[in-house]
A = this chain, B = another copy of it.
Amino acid sequence: MHWTKEAIKALDFKFRLNLINSITGIKPANLIGTISESGTTNLAIFSSVVHLGSDPALIGFIVRPTGEIPRHTYQNIIANGLYTINHIHESFIERAHYTSAKFASEESEFDMCKLTEEYLAGWKAPFVKESKLKIAMEFMESIPLKRNNTIMIIGQVAHIFIDDIAVNDKGRIDLAALNDVGLSGLNRYYRLEEIAEHPYARVNELPDF
C-alpha cells in the first residue's frame, strides 16, 4: 500500500490516527507518576519516552498540554518538578491502558485503575509498586514544538530501581526477564522475546554477511 502526503491528509480521522501512531514501529510502554500541589496523585501511560543521553542521564517524552489526558501530568511536573517513569509488564497491561481514560482531576488513576502507589528514597512523586523498573525523574526543561503544539519534557534520572535479576554485569537490562511490553499505535501490546545480541560494530570486524 502507498499513501502520499495528500492521501494521508484526506484519510478518515481515526484511520490516520491509528496509521500514523503505528508507523514508527514498536514503542516503549511506560507509566508516568506525578502528584499535584493539593496531594492528588496522577498516573498516565506514555509511549513517547526517549533516551537522550547517558552522561548526564537524560530522558525525554512528548506531551500535548492542550489535550485532555496528559494535562495533569504536565501541570504537576511544571508545578513541582518531580515525576517517575515506571515500566509496564504483562501482568498489568489492562490497568495501565485504562489510565488514559479521562478521569476528573480529583480522581487518582492509581485508585481508579487498581495500581499501587509506592514512595521510595523520599521522592514526592509516586512510583508504581507493581513495576519492576522504576525511575525517579527531576524536571530539567520544557521545549515547545510549536509546529504541532506539543512539548518535549526533558528530565534527569535521579534514582533507578530495578529487579536484580534483570541487570547483567555489563549494565544491560533483560527486558524479557522483566516481562516488559511494547506498544504499537494506541492499543496493541506486544511481548518481547530476545533473539539476537550483537557486539559494538567496528569496521575491521565486519561479519561475513
Contact = CB atoms under 8 A, between A and B. Distances in A.
Contact of A24 (B51, B174, B200): B51
Interface residues of A, number: 114
A59 B24 contact: yes
Nearest to A189: B196
Nearest to A188: B197
Interface in A139-168: 140-141, 143, 145, 147-148, 150, 152, 154, 156-164, 167
A176 B171 CA distance: 28
A52 B148 contact: yes
Interface of A, secondary structure class, is mixed
A59 B5 CA distance: 13
A197 B1 CA distance: 23
How many subunits of this chain does the assembly comprise? 2
Interface stretch (A33-41, A75-83, A179-187): A179-187
A21 B160 CA distance: 13
Interface string A40-80: 00000001111111111111101010000000000000000
A98 to B, nearest CB: 5
B28 A98 contact: no
A26 B195 contact: no
Contact of A50 (B48, B85, B135, B148): B48
B189 A19 contact: no
A50 B186 CA distance: 14
Contacts of A19: 54, 160, 167, 171-173
B206 A195 contact: no
Given A19-B160, A52-B62, A54-B16, A27 B24 contact: no
B192 A21 contact: no
A87 B171 contact: no
Interface of A: 1-5, 8-9, 11-30, 47-60, 62, 64, 85, 87, 90, 93-95, 97-103, 112-114, 121, 133, 135, 140-141, 143, 145, 147-148, 150, 152, 154, 156-164, 167, 170-176, 180-182, 184-203, 206-207, 209
